[in-house]
Amino acid sequence: MQSCVEDKCNILEIPGETTAPTSTQLDRGSPEFTLEEDDGRAFIQAYEKKSLFGPGDRVRYREPDSHTIEGPYLVASVPSPGKYILCLADDKSVLAKEGEEIPEERLELVRGPEPGRS
């Protein structure tokens, strides 16, 4: 059986056949998923979520169900994709929000130069 996407044709596994396409053969260039092999059968494996922010980024925090915005804070660390530990922008040794892991959807990037810098 063949599958054609964007003018590329790939041979797909047919039950009873001994070979299956590799992830390279099935690469569709999508940022959403990749195809891998497991015991001769192809399956879709989700990409690991990438974090929007990194250590040192200045962010503002929004309380859930509130219009109040706090900050700016600095991202101290990224313990897992989409989760952040914040510290105070003026004292990096003090963790903000009691060191709680903050979900990405509660943060927004602060644009522009840091205060006191031009």
Domains of the chain: 2-46 (no CATH), 58-109 (2.30.30)
Which residues have C-beta within 8 Å of that of residue 99, sequence separation ≥ 6? Answer: 85
What is the predicted pLDDT for the residue at 67? Answer: 86
Give the mean model confidence (pLDDT) for residues 103-112.
94
- pTM as predicted: 0.57
Chain segment 1-36, per-residue pLDDT in tens: 444 554 455 555 555 544 544 544 444 444 455 555
Q: Is the per-residue pLDDT at 111 higher than 50?
A: yes
7 or 43, greater pLDDT = 43
Which amino acid makes up residue 33? Answer: F
CB 12 within 8 A of CB 2: yes
d(CA 33, CA 27): 9
Reduced to 3 states (helix: H, G, I; strand: E, B; else coil), residue 106 is helix
Average pLDDT for the chain: 76
